[in-house]
Homo-oligomer: A and B are copies of this chain.
Amino acid sequence: MRQLVLASFVITTFASLAHPQCRPSPTVRNAIEAANKAFVASFNSGSAAAVAAMYTSDAQLLPPNSPMIGNHQGIQSFWQNLITAGIKVVRLETKVVEACGDTAYEVGGYEFTIPTAVGGTVTDHGKYVVIWKKQGRRWKLAQDIWNTNAPAGG
């Protein structure tokens, strides 16, 4: 019986190794949604340093209308510029999360408000993909790309 259990375990384990998978994980999705809430809170409170601290040390930020930003100071400066411009994040909405060990990818939608010259705001809706890496107990952003839904020149 012990041999049978062991054999069964070995076969199951082999099958898992032969086809390791990225799969939906409620636990990881919850952790990422919590991280996104922290991101929004830090951004809206004006702390670019706290936002930048949510990225891995080798993260790449891939913003629209900018070359890739591949260093921590550059990532902090990028977010600082948006904070200084008065942009606020209304919403990050997770739509898809698949977890694969210490890596996960997320697809979501965002909503920003941007101040206008005449004292109002315009809202920008768009979408993003983030590659997350778990470091210690924290999920951190390793690759971060997004774009707007608004028509070009809009």
CA distance A153 to B153 in the complex (A): 6
- Asked if A10 is at the interface of the complex by the 8 Å CB criterion, the answer is yes
Interface string of A90-109 (1 = CB under 8 A from B): 00000010101111010101
CA distance A103 to B23 in the complex (A): 10
CA distance A143 to B109 in the complex (A): 14
CA distance A131 to B98 in the complex (A): 11
Interface residue SS majority, chain A: mixed
CA distance A152 to B122 in the complex (A): 16
Copies of this chain, tallied across the complex? 2
CA distance A64 to B67 in the complex (A): 15
Give chain A's interface residue range (CB within 8 Å of chain B).
Answer: 35 or more
Segment among A14-22, A36-44, A80-88 that sits at the interface with chain B: A14-22
Interface string of A43-70 (1 = CB under 8 A from B): 0000000000000000010111111100
